[in-house]
Chain A
C-alpha cells in the first residue's frame, strides 16, 4: 500500500505536484493517468525517495521507502528506461543491483528470462532499443520480487506483444495481492489494465475512483437509435439538455436521455424504432471531460468522484 499525504513538490517557483493525497491499495492495479507534465513521474520519484517532497510525505506499507530494511524487496520501480551505464551489459547491471540486497544470481537469470532478454543479456545496454530498455527496466523492478510495483509509462516503446505482456504482468501481480501502481498517458491502455484510477492534471488529483466510476461518472446517458423516421424522432425528443446528432439516414445519437425515456417518447408519438443501443463513453472522453472541468470549472458538484478543490471560480 502506498499512502501519500499532502505531497507537494516545487521546482523553483513552479509547483510540479500540488498537495496530492491518495492511497494505492494492494490487490488491484491502480492506474495513474494524466497528460505529460502533470506530475506523474515526480510523484513516483518522491515515493522511492529520488526527489524529496517540498511538503507532505509518502509511505510504502507504513514506512518511508528509505527506512525499509530491504527496499528492493519492498518496492520495484521502473522510472525511466535506460537508467543504466551505456557500456554495461544488462546482466552486469542486474547483478550489481542484486548484490546490494544479496539477491542470488539465479534470480538475475530468472528476471532476464522472464522479460525475454536472454539473447541480449551480455550486450552493452547502449545499443538497446527503447523497447529492450523498457524490458530491462521491468527486469530491475521485478528483481527483488517486491510487494509493490511502481511502473512509470511501462508500455512506452513496447511492441503490441510487449504491451500485452505488461498488462498481464500487472494484472497477475495484483491478483497475487501485490500493490501495482502504473502511470500512463494512454487512456486506452489504462482502460484495459487498471481497476482503479487516479487522474492527475497540473499537479493536482482530479479523480480517484474505480475505473467504471471514472468512465461513468462524468457521463451523460447516450444511446444510438435506429429508426425509419429520424426526422420525426428528433423533433419528438428535442428538449433542453438533450443533444441530438444525426449519424446517418436512419441513425440518431441521443445524449441526455436514457433508453427507457427514448422508447417511451417513441411509443407516445407512434414512431417505430428498431434499434436502441446504449453507448458507453470511453475513458478518453471521460478523461477529456475531467481535464476540461479542471480548467474551466470549479469542481464537480454532486458527482461520485473525489474532486480536488481547484480554488478557482468559473
Chain B
C-alpha cells in the first residue's frame, strides 16, 4: 500500500457529482446493484431453479412408476378411488420442490437485510439514505420482484420438464387446468410470502443465521409441533390453519381439503403474513440505532 500514490486533492469541477436528489428509483437501483454484485445471490437463485426442476422431474417419474404398478393391480386401483384425483396429483408435480425452494429463497431474502448489519455496510447504506423506510421499501420491492420471477420461471421450467415425463406414464398435466393454474399462481404467491417474512426477520434480528433459523422454525418446526399438540389441545387445530405454511398450501390445493380455510380466508391470512411482519420491521428499523 505504501508504494501507492494518493493524488493531491484537487477541486472537483463544479457539478462533477451531478445534481441528482435522493429518490426512491435511485435507492431501488442501488439495491439491485448491491443484490446482483454478490456471488451468493446467483448461487442461491441457481440452486432454487435446480431444486425445483430436479424435484419436479423426480416426482413425475416416481408418481408415474407407482401409477403403472397400480394399473396392473385392479384391486389397488379400486382402493385409490376416484380417478379425478389423478389430475390434482399431476398438477402438483411441478411444485414438488417448493418446500426446499422456499427455504433457499427465504435465506436469500433474510440476507438482503441481515448482511447489511453483519458486514457494517448498513452504515454506508443508511448514511446515503437516511430515510430508512426508503431502504426497506426498495428492498421489499427488490425481494418481491426476484421471488416472483424466480418462482414463476422455476415453476414453468418444472412444468415443461415434468409434462413429457408424466405423459409418458399416461398422466395428463394440463397447463390450463384449474388445478395447475392454482399451483402456479398461488405457488408464486407462497414463495413471495416466504420471502417477505424472511426479509422482515432479517430486519428484526439483523443476523443471518438467526433469521434463517427462525424462518425454518416457522415453516417446518411449528406446523409439526402444533399439529402433534392439537390432538391434546383441541383449539390448536384452529391455530394451525392460520400458520403461513398451512394458509399458503391451502391456496395451492383445490378447495375442499379437510380442515383448510376457504380460499378467500386463506388469501387474507397470506396477505396478513406478507404485511404484518414487514410492518413490525419498519417500526423497528425506524426506532433502533444502526
For window 232-280 of B, CB contacts with A under 8 Å fall at none
CB contact list, A96-113 vs B, under 8 A: 96-97, 99-104, 106-107, 110, 113
Asked if A52 CB lies within 8 Å of chain B CBs, one says yes
Q: List residues of chain A with CB within 8 A of the CB of B123.
A: 50, 79-80, 83
> Does A87 lie within 8 Å of B21, measured CB to CB?
no
Instruction: Write the chain A residue with the least CB distance to B1.
Output: A131
With A50-B123, A83-B123, A110-B12 given, name 16 new contacts (CB 8 A): A45-B290, A70-B22, A71-B129, A77-B127, A79-B123, A84-B119, A86-B119, A88-B37, A92-B37, A95-B33, A96-B34, A97-B124, A102-B26, A106-B16, A116-B7, A129-B1
Give the contacting residue for B8; candidates A144, A168, A176; CB below 8 A.
Answer: A168
Q: Does B181 belong to the interface (CB within 8 Å)?
A: no
A26 to nearest B CB, angstroms?
16
- A71: chain B residues at CB < 8 Å are 22, 127-130
In the assembled complex, the Cα of A143 lies from the Cα of B20 at a distance in Å of 13
Q: Give the secondary structure class of B's interface.
A: loop
Q: Number of A residues whose C-beta is below 8 Å from B?
A: 62
* B26 and A116 contact, CB distance less than 8 A: no
Q: Considering the chains assembled together, what is the distance between the CA atoms of A287 and B107 in angstroms?
A: 51
List of B residues within 8 angstroms of A265 by Cβ: none
Contact B9 A172 (CB under 8 A): yes
List residues of B (124-166) whose CB comes within 8 Å of A's CBs.
Answer: 124-131
List B contacts of A145 (CB < 8 A). 12, 16-17
Cβ of B38: which chain A residues have Cβ within 8 Å of it? 85, 87-88
A-B contact pairs, 7 of them (CB 8 A): A50-B290, A70-B20, A75-B127, A79-B123, A104-B18, A116-B6, A165-B8
Contact in complex: A162, B6 (CB < 8 Å):
yes
Min Cβ gap A163→B in Å is: 10
Complex interface: chain B residues within 8 A of A140 (CB): 124
- A135 lies within 8 A of B30 (CB): no
Which of A65, A87, A101, A106 counts the most B-chain CB atoms under 10 A from its CB?
A101
A-facing mask of B9-42, CB < 8 A → 1, else 0?
1111000111111110011011101100111100
Cα-based distance from A69 to B20 in the complex (angstroms): 9
**B128-A66 in contact (CB<8A):** no
Q: Is the CB of B40 within 8 A of A87?
A: yes
State the 6 A-B residue pairs at the shortest beta-carbon distance, nearest first: A102-B20, A66-B130, A83-B123, A145-B17, A165-B6, A99-B30
- List residues of A (124-151) whose CB comes within 8 Å of B's CBs: 129, 131-132, 135, 140, 142-145
Which of the listed residues A49, A75, A85, A162 has the most CB atoms from chain B within 10 Å of its own CB? A85
Is A72 in the interface zone, CB < 8 Å from B?
yes
Cβ of B22 and Cβ of A72 under 8 Å apart?
yes
